[in-house]
Amino acid sequence: MYDYEHSSELALIRRAHKGDVKAFSELYARIYVELYKFALYTMKHPQDAEDAVSEAVIAAYENIGSLKKEESFRSWIFQILSNQCRKKFRDAKPSEELEPNIEAAEEDYAAVHDVREAFFLLNEEERMIVAFSVFGGYHSDEIGGMLEQKAATVRSKKTRALEKMRRVLE
């Protein structure tokens, strides 16, 4: 993120923290695509992803006063979304859209389900790192800035998290 964009986002976060609805709306507009990609990957159904993002944004808006560090806004809102997705995933029933007589569809669904389960076995920090990297396209130095960690630490944690997922999927 460029310095100008970063300082502009911090100013919006400060205003939203003070209750400015327009500032929060602008923040939401800037991050919506990333939130939706994360939720869609996690939930696999557009409506479920939209619901999870909506619920997460409402929760974030209602609790923005509890945000301790403005620089942590992105990781904070992704944590809220991750919790929403995990809750929805836990409560979800297998999709009725899949036809049980088509083996390929069942195998695809099973593989996606397994990856999602492996993803949710990661701890919160590992999910954030994988999500920012894979879904958000962030580099380790950017993720480190959001999570207040060194880029090398982020890379190590990402490698361990992906290895943990690989072991679960084997």
The residues spanned by each domain of the chain are 3-169
Please, are residues 80 and 128 in contact by the beta-carbon 8 Å criterion?
A: no
Q: Is 78 exposed, middle or buried (0-12, 13-18, 19+ CB in 10 A)?
A: buried
CB neighbours (10 Å) of residue 105?
14
Task: Determine what percent of the chain falls in helix, strand and coil, rounding each to the nearest 5.
Answer: 80, 0, 20
Q: What class, spelled out in words, does domain 3-169 have in CATH? A: mainly alpha
What is the length of the chain? 170
pTM of this prediction?
0.65
Q: Which helix (H) or strand (E) holds 55?
A: helix 46-63
Q: What does the pLDDT look like over 85-102, one tens digit per residue?
A: 878 766 655 444 444 443
Percent above pLDDT 70 for the chain: 82
